Chains A and B, each alone.
Chain A
């Protein structure tokens, strides 16, 4: 029985990976291009004006943030767009009639979101490396935050995909929640440079800890301790995952 369920979850995971891989020009290529454009514009404008953590050049500082931003946004996009498309076109029925548990759905959708996030992140890293090398202090922090952050965003995408009934609701979720939170997370600046009010606001944003912890793996310095970031991101992952699992168990907006 459990072997069968495992096979079901594995199939759904493979299907979700295959789905984005078949259109990788859009799902991997496009976000890499976007990140490179950010790097060119901001890097060129600010390279000679800003030094971060005292010694780090702006372009080198920017690269890990851009990589992580791409990881997070694409992990979210993978789970959410797959679900909403299946709901709207009606082919979610193929999954709904299958003997898959809510855990199988969760593991498959979040797993594929992590794979998409890491694939895009790797793409951005490889391309931006030609502009500046940020160094690599501790790869374990890099991997931990990349996997945990994309898992968190995959679970959030799952919730958004279940909740949204139309493409514009999904676009609103993405434009009014995900985009502002990623932009204000310290991708483009060290939050240490912010006035006190905005510093406090940044510290309330879980995205900040994902970016800050990830960047710590490159520079060995960060705005807060990576252990604090790990605690915040780990807790957020568990909370969001618990909500996603409960919604799946209830069949929220998918079983009427």
Chain B
């Protein structure tokens, strides 16, 4: 059996002598060629987990393997296998786009890499910026360069830590087309994102973290089928009765409540009627990942 692309084995991380526990026994594997989503609210430990994977932080316990290489013991092999797109929009102001990519390539021992660098620039819509200084680029362009830097040594395992935060629609499209292509060509991808519709569309399997623990780990289709599968959407100006308000997702005038089956939908409607809540534009649809996410996160509270 081939090694997992990434294997987290009982990973924990504590700060301040154990007073703060950022990760608490996290274990899961990402298979070769898999497109895997890591989701969780802010502070769940996603970035800490990725930092340990990347060698930016050290685990307090457990270990992480990349294609069988321990990220501490065998860091050089592990890092050569990984391409990491960091969350922060960082850049080196001394260099042009092409210089930055050549340098990053050189760190991995790959020199004379211009053919692949040109392909990256082309695919990420950066071809006309190759000789621009990093300082002159817009935020979105800098983000593209970060992606190119992560891919410059052709890593078999790609890690994207919230790559689309604050990014316009066009770049998202370009980015996902390119990443999906690399995934089809056999690269494993680990994605963290707050855009759950992206995770739903792209990831075949998902782990959800909360307070440093894995609270869900399954195929995306199973997660969507297994939890509340139906969602009731309507508009209202009135307050919802307390028993519904606690489980409803309200955006402006739109309220959404999840249900497991038709009988529960009827009960919900009955409750609304009894409370004399006026409703407009009622629709009953399939739950999306965001509904599942909220349900799991609320469930994990107890």
Contact = CB atoms under 8 A, between A and B. Distances in A.
Nearest to B84: A97
Specify the main secondary structure of chain A where it touches its partner: helix
Contact of A98 (B77, B79, B94): B79
Interface residues of B, number: 32
Contacts, number: 88
Contact of B107 (A22, A91, A95, A256): A95
Contact of A96 (B55, B93, B108, B111): B55
Given A10-B106, A18-B94, A255-B56, 13 more contacts: A7-B111, A8-B108, A11-B106, A12-B107, A14-B103, A14-B106, A19-B94, A94-B90, A99-B79, A99-B80, A99-B108, A100-B107, A256-B51
Interface in A1-57: 1, 3-5, 7-8, 10-12, 14-15, 18-19, 22-23
A93 interface: yes
Given A12-B107, A15-B103, A18-B94, A255 B57 contact: yes
Interface string B20-55: 000000000000000000000000000000010011
Contacts of A251: 58
B149 A7 contact: no
A196 interface: no
Nearest to A94: B104
A86 B80 CA distance: 22
14 contacts: A4-B108, A7-B110, A7-B111, A11-B107, A15-B103, A15-B106, A93-B56, A93-B88, A94-B90, A94-B107, A99-B79, A99-B80, A99-B108, A101-B76
B118 to A, nearest CB: 19
A89 B103 contact: no
Contact of A94 (B51, B76, B110, B149): B149
A94 B92 contact: yes
Interface string B88-121: 1011111100010001111111110000000000
B234 interface: no
A93 B94 contact: no
A191 to B, nearest CB: 40
Contacts of A91: 90-92
B94 A22 contact: yes
A12 to B, nearest CB: 7
Interface in A68-95: 86, 89-91, 93-95
Most buried by A among B88, B103, B105, B111: B103
